[in-house]
Structure formats: structure tokens, C-alpha cells
Amino acid sequence: MKSWIVSQAEAGTTAWKYVTHILPNAAAGLLRKSMRKKNITLNGKKMEGKEKLVSGDRIDIWFSDDTISKFQDEMKPKGKDLSFFFSSILYEDENVLALNKPAGLLSQGDGSGSPSLNDGLLAYLKDEITPAFRPSICNRLDRNTSGIVLAGKTMAALQQLSELIRTRAVSKTYIAMVWGETEKQGTFKGWMVKDERKNQVRCLDHEEEGARPVETRYKQIAVKRMGQDLCTLVEVHLITGRSHQIRVHFAHAGHPILGDRKYGTKESIAFSDRNHIRRQLLHAGKVRFPKHLNPPLEVLSGKLFTARLPADMEKFNFEDKRQS
């Protein structure tokens, strides 16, 4: 028999979810049967699974040590060089981290063994990993997109953050460098459909089966002539949030993001090559929280996080004329 005491970070999860995190390799039917027979108990009493846990609750599992070991996974992150993580921290409190992901780094692991921001998070918070909870990032950016990623350090914070992002209550602003000269401001509307096999998205001007409605708004920050070519720095707001939405919408409008080899044109890719642009120049530069948040995120009410442009975008020295 082994016992687990619910920590403050795990509070708020259900008893069932806690047990399935402790024993991820155990069949659900076996766990439910064990609960009915009181081989798994909560505070010494029969457990139904739907109970909301609080800090200090005790879960007892009356299995042999060998059986428990067989049903468990290794919870600690694998050792990697994660020194990059420390310089990415923009903000931290007891519940939340705001991180500035560099381009070229995965948000979450893809099974290839390449380091990810989430690997760094788990290594940084290794002492806070428990059998029932692992800190996690809440929003993803494409590997070659830089900018702000949010992470939850406790179960309650992770759940609240995820809901704020899902409902788009958290406002995100992107900065992109695109081919050609855009209008001063504009709105792109349409439908997008994703080819999962190719991991590629098509933008449509009409609705069709499987397509989802999308909307993107932008404002021109500055236009710059480079040789005989024009490019524009734009501020972008997502009204919907689909995979590759910004990249596809600007490409569909004739202004592909510079460095984007998946959705770019021959001209924009050639320009990118001449100017040594190695990735799509897209940066998640601002995140603003709504006012009047409930605990545990009340300290973030109305808070704005910013991440300055990375060097590969800043080097083009665009002059922001929006205030002139």
C-alpha cells in the first residue's frame, strides 16, 4: 500500500483524474473496480472519483509495490541542456509563467528528441512535479514563430489560463514582416481547411465541407523599401485562432510573411534568401489579460506582457509612424 497527499498545486482536480495520473498505465476498468472495493480510498473512505480534491487530502492505494510500479510512468523530465529557458522568462509568480519563446524552438515536444519550451518548464519546475500534476504551457506557437507563451504552475492556474485562452479572453497581438505594401489597415475573412497529412492549410473565399470560418485584423506599422522591393511591418490581431491562420491569410492576400517557405511566393522567398531571412518573421509580441479576474489569477487582472522584437526582425530598423 502507498499513500499520496494532495498538494496545493494539485488542488481542484478530481479524485479520478488524480488516480489516473498516479497510475497512467492501469486500465480504467481496474481502477473503477478497485474504488468500488475500497482498494483505492480518499481520506480512508470509499471514493467515487468525482470528488474535488483539496490540499491535504490523502489517497491510499492498496496495491503491492510491484503493481504500483508497473502502472506508473517516470514523472521527472529527461536531462537536457535547458539553459535557454532561464533567459526566456518574462514574468513569474506562484501560479503563472510568461515566457518569450525564441524562433527555432518547439513549444512542446514532438517525439524527435529536440528540446522544447515545455521541456525547459518541466526542468525548471522539477521539484513541483507530482504524481497527479505537471506544469504545462497553455498556448503553442509554431516552431519558427517567436514570442509570448503562457504556462500554469498549479492545477487551478492551468485550468483558468486554458479557459481564458480558449474563450479568447486573453488578447494576443502579433508583429509580422510581410512582402509588398499592405493597406493602412484591413480585415481578412474567409474559411480555412487543413490538410493534416501535409500539415498545410488552404484559405477559401467560400464555405465548403470541413472548412472553418476565420477572421484576422491588421494595422500597418511601417513600409520600407529595400532595393527595388517593398515590405511592410504590420500589427496583427486574431479574431479566430486557427493553425497557421496569420501566415495563410497574408499569403492569400498577396502579402506572404517574409521567410515563410511553406506559404510564400517565389518572389517573397527569393527576397528572403537575398536578405538572409531564415524563418517566417512572425512574433507574438503582446498579451493582455482581462480586468477583474478571479483567484488564483486575480493579480494578472488587466496586466500587459510585452516581448521585444527578436534580433532577426529588429535589424531591419522599421520606423513606427503610427503616432506621427
In a domain, 127, yes or no: yes
- Whether residues 177 and 274 fall in one domain: yes
Please list the active-site residues: 142
In the listed set 150, 167, 184, which residue is the last one of a domain according to the structure? 167
Domain that holds residue 42: 2-71
* Nearby residues of 158 by Cβ (< 8 Å), 6 or more positions away: 135, 136, 138, 151, 152
Q: How far apart are CA 169 and CA 289, in angstroms?
A: 7
Residue 190 Ramachandran class (φ > 0 left, ψ -120 to 50 alpha, else beta): left
Task: Provide the pLDDT confidence category of residue 17 given band limits of 50, 70 and 90.
Answer: confident
Q: What is the pTM of this model?
A: 0.79
The per-residue pLDDT for range 28-84, each reduced to its tens digit, is 999 999 999 999 999 999 999 999 999 899 999 999 888 888 887 654 445 455 667
Q: Which pLDDT value is given to residue 255? A: 97
Find out whether 104 and 114 touch, Cβ atoms under 8 Å.
no
In the listed set 266, 284, 302, which residue is the last one of a domain according to the structure? 284
The per-residue pLDDT for range 176-189, each reduced to its tens digit, is 999 999 999 999 99
In a domain, 257, yes or no: yes
In the listed set 45, 71, 97, which residue is the last one of a domain according to the structure? 71
- Whether residues 278 and 227 fall in one domain: yes
Q: CATH code at 273? A: 3.30.2350.10
What DSSP line would sit under 26-81, residue for residue? S-HHHHHHHHHTTSEEETTEE--S-PBP-TT-EEEE-S-HHHHHHH----SPPP--
- By the 10 Å C-beta count (0-12 exposed, 13-18 middle, 19+ buried), 18 is classed as buried
Which residue shows C-alpha cell 510585452?
Answer: 306
- Whether residues 231 and 265 fall in one domain: yes
In a domain, 112, yes or no: yes
Tell me the CA distances in angstroms from 18 to 24, 43, 216, one per residue in order.
10, 14, 39
In a domain, 102, yes or no: yes
In a domain, 121, yes or no: yes
The per-residue pLDDT for range 83-115, each reduced to its tens digit, is 678 889 999 999 999 999 999 999 988 777 788
Q: Which pLDDT value is given to residue 81? A: 57
- What phi and psi values does residue 279 have, to the nearest 5 degrees? -155, 165
- Name the domain count of the chain: 3
